[in-house]
Structure 1
Amino acid sequence: MNFGKKIWVIGNSSEKSQKTVTALKKLLKVEHFIFDDINPEIVVSVGGDGTLLRAMHMYESQLDRVRFLGVHTGHLGFYTDFTDHELFEVVQALKNENFREAVHYPLVKVKVSFDDGYQIVRHVLNESTIRRASKTMLGDVQISGELFERFRGDGLSISTPTGSTAYNKSIGGAVMHPRVEAMQIAEIASLNNRVYRTLGSPMIVAKKDTITVIPAAEDDYSLTFDQLSFEYKNIKTIEYSMDGATIAFANCAHTPFWERVKTSFIGEVE
Structure 2
Amino acid sequence: MKFAISSKGDPVSNSILQRMKTYLLDFQLEYDEDRPDIVISVGGDGTLLYAFHRYRSRLDKTAFIGVHTGHLGFYADWVPDEIEKLVIAIAKTPYQVVEYPILEVIIRHNDGGREARYLALNECTVKSIEGTLVMDVEIKGQKFETFRGDGLCMSTPSGSTAYNKALGGAILHPSIRAIQLTELASINNRVFRTIGSPLILPEHHTCMLKPVNDVDFQVTIDHLTLLHKDVKSIQYRVANENVRFARFKPFPFWKRVRDSFVGDIGSER
TM, length-normalised to structure 2: 0.95
Gaps of 5+ in 2: none
Q: How much does 1:254 deviate?
A: 4.1
Between the aligned partners of 2:58 and 2:252, the Cα distance in structure 1 is: 25
Tell me the equivalent position of 2:100: 105
- The 8 Å contact of residues 101 and 176 in structure 2, kept in 1 or not, is answered as no
Between the aligned partners of 1:225 and 1:50, the Cα distance in structure 2 is: 12
RMSD: 1.3
SS in 2 for 1:149: strand
- The 8 Å contact of residues 161 and 183 in structure 1, kept in 2 or not, is answered as yes
Between the aligned partners of 2:32 and 2:250, the Cα distance in structure 1 is: 24
Paired residue type of 1:60 = R
Between the aligned partners of 2:89 and 2:52, the Cα distance in structure 1 is: 20
1:183 aligns with 2:176: no
- The 8 Å contact of residues 3 and 38 in structure 2, kept in 1 or not, is answered as yes
1:251 aligns with 2:247: yes
1:159 aligns with 2:158: no
Between the aligned partners of 1:232 and 1:254, the Cα distance in structure 2 is: 41
Between the aligned partners of 2:63 and 2:216, the Cα distance in structure 1 is: 36
Q: How much does 1:133 deviate?
A: 2.2
Between the aligned partners of 1:247 and 1:83, the Cα distance in structure 2 is: 21
SS in 2 for 1:242: strand
Q: How much does 1:97 deviate?
A: 4.3
Between the aligned partners of 1:204 and 1:66, the Cα distance in structure 2 is: 28
- The 8 Å contact of residues 180 and 200 in structure 2, kept in 1 or not, is answered as yes
SS in 2 for 1:107: strand
Percent identity of the aligned residues? Answer: 42
1:115 aligns with 2:110: yes
- Describe the superposition over 1:140-196 as per-residue Cα deviations: whole angstroms up to 9, x where unpaired: 000010000000000000011111111000000000112221111000000000111
Q: How much does 1:114 deviate?
A: 1.0
Gaps of 5+ in 1: none
Tell me the equivalent position of 2:256: 260
Q: Number of residue pairs matched?
A: 265
- The 8 Å contact of residues 207 and 237 in structure 2, kept in 1 or not, is answered as yes
1:60 aligns with 2:53: no
- Describe the superposition over 1:30-86 as per-residue Cα deviations: whole angstroms up to 9, x where unpaired: 111100011100000000000000000000011011000000111111100111221
Matching of residues 109-258 of structure 1 within 5 Å: 109-116=104-111, 117-258=113-254
Q: How much does 1:244 deviate?
A: 3.0
- The 8 Å contact of residues 97 and 251 in structure 1, kept in 2 or not, is answered as no
